[in-house]
Amino acid sequence: MSELFIYEYAVIRVVPCVVRGELINAGVIVYSQPRGYLCARTELDEARLRALDDGVDLDGLRLALAAFERACSDDSGPLREESLGSRFRWLTAPRSTIVQTGPVHAGLTADPAAELEALLDRLVRRFTSAR
């Protein structure tokens, strides 16, 4: 059996109208301090988002979601001096904006990258087959 390491994750969600509180999941951030791993992946379902708000600024949202991904991996951006843990805490801090994260959860995994993919499948991607 592979050695398991603790990891934390949060769902990145889009709330097109904060007052209404409706949201769609648009990505996941995974952090594992023991593995030195921090990664965010996003996949925006634009049709679902337009169903909630047909006037949403899709270009602006794409840029905001890409910023989450860059903040995890870009060593030339404004968070470059921060540790991976500090970056994760900054990205998952509560905010009332159109792009925000849900609560932080924890688990155990041997492979944080594989866990990120599994979380995207379970929490972000839509399944078309019957369950």
Retrieve residue 29's tokens. Answer: 């951030």
The conformation of residue 123, written as its DSSP 8-state character, comes to: H
CA neighbor of 99 nearest in space, from 1, 4, 8, 10:
10
Tell me the pLDDT of the chain (131 aa) as tens digits. 689 999 999 999 999 888 888 999 999 999 999 999 999 999 999 999 999 999 999 999 999 999 999 998 877 777 778 899 999 999 999 887 899 999 999 999 999 999 999 999 999 997 644 44
What residue segments make up the domains of the chain, in order of their start?
A: 5-123
Are 86 and 24 in contact, with CB atoms under 8 Å apart? Answer: no
Other Cβ atoms less than 10 A from the Cβ of 8: the count is 19
Provide the pLDDT for residue 44.
93
The conformation of residue 127, written as its DSSP 8-state character, comes to: P
**CB-count exposure of residue 102 (10 Å: 0-12, 13-18, 19+):** middle
